[in-house]
Amino acid sequence: MALFAMSIAENLARIESGIATACQKSVRSRGAVKLVAVSKTKPNGMITEAVAAGQIDFGENKVQELITKSPAFPDGIQWHLIGHLQKNKIRKALPFCDLLHTLDSLELAGQVDRIAGELGITTKALVQVNISEDEAKFGFGENETAEALEKITNLPNLEIVGLMTIPVFDPDPENTRIHFANLRKLRDRLEQASGRKLPELSMGMSHDYEVAIEEGATLVRVGSSIFGERG
Ligand SMILES: *Cc1c(COP(=O)(O)O)cnc(C)c1O
């Protein structure tokens, strides 16, 4: 497959051009969208290649990988935790996590807030919404999010900057468009109701990031199209 013959720099350039095209199509500025390169299961050498090509943001889904990989890179590199955070790993994870994408329960939010306070840090986070009401996915239901957010936004050591979703998988991105649009509409309603800004929308992966951008994504999480399939 051609993907494997391409370098990480070439893959990043291809994704960059896909992002630029999607931004143009939806009359958004390129600066409104950030690429999070999902490096889970991939070695530091591959991350180094991406950094050399100018990539700044990386996503990991396991705390163990986040805490072993991130210290090898300069402070300017940004680390996103995109997997479910187990409560017994919060304390280990927070010092290495620039943005937590997966605040998926009130209990987790309360514990992250408490531990961030103990560590003397503020944790930036996104509230995960199970927008396609997929049984297998973590996150708040669409109708639970307003109430949850009201409780979470008052926690002093958490800074909620937006929403994240992982819609049910569909190989045709056009079928997922509705879920991306629904997350954006939910965000707009929540902003209106609360008067608080929720600027970030984390949605879209390798096969559907362009559609996600057309529907308002500000953070796209792309792994296999950059680093190759995972074993
Ligand atoms: C693995 C993962 C991705 C990246 O998936 P690809 O299909 O490899 O781009 C994005 N988001 C989450 C939450 C993931 O776990």
Pocket lining: 167 vs ligand 1, CB cutoff 6 Å: no
Q: What span, in angstroms and rounded, lies between the C-alpha atoms of 88 and 71? A: 21
User: What atom of ligand 1 comes closest to residue 207's alpha carbon?
Assistant: 7
The pLDDT tens digits for 120-137 are 999 999 999 999 988 878
Residue 13 dihedral angles phi and psi, to the nearest 5°: -65, -40
Whether residue 66 contacts residue 79, with contact meaning beta carbons closer than 8 Å, is answered with yes
Dist. CA 196 → ligand 1 center (Å): 28
Pocket lining: 202 vs ligand 1, CB cutoff 6 Å: no
Residue 106 dihedral angles phi and psi, to the nearest 5°: -65, -35
Q: What span, in angstroms and rounded, lies between the C-alpha atoms of 194 and 198? A: 10
Dist. CA 80 → ligand 1 center (Å): 12
Say if pTM beats, i.e. exceeds, 0.85.
yes
Look at ligand 1, atom 13, and give the residue with the nearest C-alpha: 82
User: In Å, how far are 118, 134, 195 from 164, measured between CA atoms?
Assistant: 26, 14, 19
Give the chain's domains with CATH numbers: 3-227 (3.20.20.10)
User: What atom of ligand 1 comes closest to residue 166's alpha carbon?
Assistant: 13
* Helix, strand and coil percent figures for the chain, each rounded to 5: 45, 15, 35
Using the predicted structure, report yes or no on whether residue 3 has a pLDDT greater than 80. no
The pLDDT tens digits for 71-126 are 999 999 999 999 999 999 999 999 999 999 999 999 999 999 999 999 999 999 99
The pLDDT tens digits for 146-164 are 999 999 999 999 999 999 9
Residue 108 dihedral angles phi and psi, to the nearest 5°: -65, -45
